[in-house]
Amino acid sequence: MENFIFQNPVKLLMGRGMIAQLSKEIAADKRIMITFGGGSVKKNGVYDQVREALKNHYTVEFWGIEPNPSIETLRKAIALGKEQQVDYLLAVGGGSVIDGTKLIAAGLLYEGDAWDLVLARRPVTNTVPLSTVLTLPATGSEMNNGAVISRHETKEKYPFYANFPLFSILDPEVTFTLPPYQVACGLSDTFVHIMEQYMTTPGQSRVMDRWAEGVLQTLVEIAPKIRENQHDYQLMADFMLSATMALNGFVAMGVSQDWATHMIGHEITALHGLTHGHTLAIVLPATLRILRKSKGEKLLQYGERVWGIISGTKEERIDEAIRRTEEFFRSLGLTTRLHEEEIGQDTIVEIERRFNERKANYGENGEVTGEVAREILESAL
Amino acid sequence: MENFIFQNPVKLLMGRGMIAQLSKEIAADKRIMITFGGGSVKKNGVYDQVREALKNHYTVEFWGIEPNPSIETLRKAIALGKEQQVDYLLAVGGGSVIDGTKLIAAGLLYEGDAWDLVLARRPVTNTVPLSTVLTLPATGSEMNNGAVISRHETKEKYPFYANFPLFSILDPEVTFTLPPYQVACGLSDTFVHIMEQYMTTPGQSRVMDRWAEGVLQTLVEIAPKIRENQHDYQLMADFMLSATMALNGFVAMGVSQDWATHMIGHEITALHGLTHGHTLAIVLPATLRILRKSKGEKLLQYGERVWGIISGTKEERIDEAIRRTEEFFRSLGLTTRLHEEEIGQDTIVEIERRFNERKANYGENGEVTGEVAREILESAL
């Protein structure tokens, strides 16, 4: 086990009817800006529940934080927030709305252009307090201090770190009416978040391995049932809790991490707009195929504990573990090959060029250079 | 999944050499009282590391917080702390030292007798800040807000809740020289903490079940190896992390809890002074035997996932799961029967009387009354 420091102060309020707690959790004198994505929260009742809970609070609304939130949009939110002198932010949405609102929270207390804060690559601790009502289980942003911010004009996309939300409300009922494609991408995102923190050097922590495998086992168990019935409260509660636990530091204590799959996936989203969780379903199996040598021992453990693969030679078991992983993503209704999304060699060349330009050495051992990224993407064609 | 609210703000600093971080984590102007148990920290180097880290801080030491910390001792610490005007507490020890220091933290800001705070049965939020250096993995007190406080003159023992520690330092190396009996009791305590939050109604949360089972599987894997070599850093790190994760709320989200085994075990400690973790090793198997009907379905799941029991009738598999549980405790070097500790029928009668007097209805479903406690204890004779 490596030395580590862990702290996660986020208060989770999970369950039916928890949105009503907003009235108690936010002080009555706060000037709140509520941030939203598109209009789906008006159709599924979340908007009405939030309005009802905050009917005695001062609020201003900002609409239109898009998937892969852009600095162009967030600048407008920051301008509105400054104009209205807001001193509290409530993000109501999925990972993109929450990510974007983390930058707004920092931007409201910054004089210059908020894109500076992204480029500075330092965590920003001077922020307006922020809480969330989660509507789409996927990114884990509701219980971590990270975000990913895009800049449309340059097709750039960078990580950004600020403060944790004060609290996050998770009501599984809000997921019942999500588009099945978004649920599939959320399941994929959750699965790969775990894999980025697990599919590394074996033997670093037995208990962290078990917890990572426990989330994977849960996803494997619930995914086909969710495809059949997205209105099952218990299934959606386990999905929602798994997504939050997958990226809040709880499975990362004392173990190394990888994130090469994410780095490649981000480029596909930046270049083609493909939903984040979907890019991961395409890239992860290919990453495992190309890095099967360095990840072989952990792939054997993963195969046995998550998929019950116990017979065959080592190489056969590794093959089977990777095959089952890709099959899992396909069972979610997602494609797992680039050609199925009409993405071809030109994109691969461009990603290799970008990685080379920034001298990329991603992954646990820094082995994912531009050349290796190309091999991975060619394996995903 | 039941509705729940979760928050755990404790900062964990885990690994070799982390005690040196004390100098940075505690502000230079604090007036610190450091609390200790007996003198073992002077033999294993912990005391010297703490003194070195805090050599530029104002400190006063309080020694002698005993196992099952008593109000009689803690009153002395509170008096010293008030006299020295301390405004920060650092507990250096195991669960008893940390538990006791939680009451000191509350007592320092309370005018009356601190035993009032225990009897009030309300969480105390007005406390002096408290951090910990853990020396014995067992109770989880380093990452929760609970404590158990005893009163010798009346042989009473009650739970007490205050604020969480600000931070806790976990250096696995400090466990290398612990007496093997204390390690065995710590393993037993950790195992039963998980069981109290897991051996309940099945199907409440798949991911919480997996995480609980993950800690149990870890303990089953590491316990015999620790018995062979208590100086293995990786083993002791996994033990230490498991003990902390077993009672910090991380496996309790949205699931019901039991705690009947603890309530009976506390009485045995109060009457005979037997170490807490050891009482649990005696009581848990007996609790499972007597409550095998209401806990049957979960016992089958536990047997399969933790012990690999998949053949036989349901009743045979339940028998085997309970047998393996008792065998696990015996493999730690602990006795699992009352007669082995020369505890007999008179103690059972007294515990039944106490439970009846307070109209006890412990356990997940309130089924553990005085009469049922007697059945459990008779099954452990």
B249-269 pLDDT per residue, tens: 999 999 999 999 999 999 999
pLDDT at A154 over 90: no
The closest alpha carbon to A135, from A174, A180, A188, A173, belongs to: A174
* Residue B6 domain flag: no
Number of domains in chain B: 2
Do B201 and B128 share a structural domain? no
Do B126 and B198 share a structural domain? no
Residue-averaged pLDDT of chain A: 97
Enclosing domain of residue B164 = 11-174
pLDDT at A39 over 90: no
3-state secondary structure of B14: strand
Q: What is the DSSP letter of B141?
A: G
Does B1 contact A17 at a Cβ distance shorter than 8 Å? no
Residues whose CB falls within 8 Å of the CB of residue A295, separated by 6 or more in sequence, listed in order: A199, A200, A288
Residues of chain A positioned with their CB less than 8 A from the CB of B203? 234
Do B187 and B160 share a structural domain? no
* Residue A188 domain flag: yes
Residues of A with CB under 8 A from a CB of B: 1-18, 167, 172, 203, 205-208, 210-211, 213-215, 217-218, 221-222, 233-234, 237-238, 241-242, 245, 250, 253-254
Residues of chain A positioned with their CB less than 8 A from the CB of B6? 11-12, 14
Does A4 contact B12 at a Cβ distance shorter than 8 Å? yes
d(CA A184, CA A11): 27
- Please state, for a pLDDT cut of 70, what percent of chain A lies above it: 100
The closest alpha carbon to A78, from A135, A35, A40, A39, belongs to: A35
Q: End of a domain among A174, A197, A231?
A: A174
pLDDT recorded at residue B155: 80
d(CA B200, CA B187): 21
* Residue in B204, B210, B216, B304 to test binding to A, most A beta-carbons within 10 Å: B210
Residues whose CB falls within 8 Å of the CB of residue B328, separated by 6 or more in sequence, listed in order: B191, B220, B223
pLDDT recorded at residue A9: 98
* Residue A2 domain flag: no
B71-84 residue pLDDT tens? 999 999 999 999 99
* Residue A243 domain flag: yes
Do A271 and A124 share a structural domain? no
A45-100 residue pLDDT tens? 999 999 999 999 999 999 999 999 999 999 999 999 999 999 999 999 999 999 99
B178-201 residue pLDDT tens? 999 999 999 999 999 999 999 999
3-state secondary structure of B334: coil
pLDDT recorded at residue B48: 97
Residue-averaged pLDDT of chain B: 97
CB-neighbour burial class of residue B24 (10 A; exposed 0-12, middle 13-18, buried 19+): exposed
Q: Mean pLDDT throughout A197-225?
A: 98
**pLDDT band with cut points at 50, 70 and 90 for residue A108:** very high
The residue that leads in pLDDT, A202 or B158, is: A202
Residues B185, B186, B192, B196, Cα dihedral to 10°: 130
d(CA A265, CA B246): 36
Do B191 and B126 share a structural domain? no
**pLDDT band with cut points at 50, 70 and 90 for residue B39:** confident
Pick the residue from chain A with its C-alpha nearest to B167. Answer: A7
* Residue in A3, A206, A232, A310 to test binding to B, most B beta-carbons within 10 Å: A206
Residues of chain A positioned with their CB less than 8 A from the CB of B11? 5-7
Do A21 and A68 share a structural domain? yes
Do A155 and A21 share a structural domain? yes
Do A124 and A186 share a structural domain? no
d(CA B282, CA B132): 30
Residues of chain A positioned with their CB less than 8 A from the CB of B215? 207, 210
Q: Mean pLDDT throughout A332-361?
A: 97
pLDDT at A239 over 90: yes
Q: Mean pLDDT throughout B302-324?
A: 98
Does A234 contact B203 at a Cβ distance shorter than 8 Å? yes
* Residue B235 domain flag: yes
* Residue B1 domain flag: no
**pLDDT band with cut points at 50, 70 and 90 for residue A253:** very high
pLDDT recorded at residue B157: 84
Domain of A276: which CATH number?
1.20.1090.10
- Please state, for a pLDDT cut of 90, what percent of chain B lies above it: 97
* Residue A5 domain flag: no
Do A117 and A157 share a structural domain? yes
B150-180 residue pLDDT tens? 998 888 888 999 999 999 999 999 999 999 9
Does B218 contact A238 at a Cβ distance shorter than 8 Å? no
3-state secondary structure of B172: helix
Q: End of a domain among A174, A199, A231?
A: A174
Residues of B with CB under 8 A from a CB of A: 1-18, 167, 172, 203, 205-208, 210-211, 213-215, 217-218, 221-222, 233-234, 237-238, 241-242, 245, 250, 253-254
Q: Sign of the CA dihedral B210, B215, B216, B220? A: positive
Is A309 within 8 Å of A321 (Cβ atoms)? yes
Instruction: Give the amino acid at A177.
Output: T
Q: End of a domain among B159, B174, B189?
A: B174
**pLDDT band with cut points at 50, 70 and 90 for residue B57:** very high
Q: Which residue has the tokens 């620790």?
A: B226
Do A139 and A186 share a structural domain? no
A62 vs chain B: nearest CA distance in angstroms? 28
3-state secondary structure of A146: strand
Do A293 and A233 share a structural domain? yes
pLDDT at A3 over 90: yes
The residue that leads in pLDDT, B68 or B327, is: B327
Do B213 and B84 share a structural domain? no
Residues of chain A positioned with their CB less than 8 A from the CB of B3? 14-18
pLDDT recorded at residue B337: 98
The residue that leads in pLDDT, A3 or B270, is: A3
* Residue A4 domain flag: no
pLDDT recorded at residue A156: 82
pLDDT at A135 over 90: yes
Domain of B40: which CATH number?
3.40.50.1970
**pLDDT band with cut points at 50, 70 and 90 for residue A155:** confident
